[in-house]
Copies of this chain bind each other. A is one copy, B any other.
Amino acid sequence: MSENIIKELTDEVRSFADARDWHKFHTPKNLAMALAGEAGELLAEFQWLTPEESSVSSLSAEQKKAIELEIADVQIYLLRLADVLDVDIASVVREKLQINESRF
């Protein structure tokens, strides 16, 4: 069983980029753009659906698969961005939840 699945996935994504010599492209600025582009594609899967049609029980298997792959794309760029910026995702998520806790 994984000790830390986020670190494992981060390593896998880094290896993928390393193998293709993509480091020069993977500046934080460019990765933030790529992430936002993928978030836009995820959005597009839902744009003409009613809220009800967007629920897990209403989506077709084909829609569900397309959405899963867009979720993966967003996560991949988020892992990569956090990696090049030396950000510990789990820590900052918990820090932000604490901040939100005091706000809401």
Contacts and interface: CB of A to CB of B under 8 A. Distances in A.
B35 A74 contact: yes
* Chain A contact residues, majority secondary structure: helix
A76 to B, nearest CB: 6
**Assembly of this chain: how many copies?**
4
Nearest to A81: B71
Contacts of A99: 69
Interface in A71-102: 71-76, 78-79, 81-82, 84-87, 89-90, 92-97, 99-101
Contacts of A33: 33, 36, 43-44, 46-47
Interface of A: 1-6, 9, 12-13, 16, 20, 25, 27-30, 32-52, 54-56, 59, 64, 67-69, 71-76, 78-79, 81-82, 84-87, 89-90, 92-97, 99-101, 104
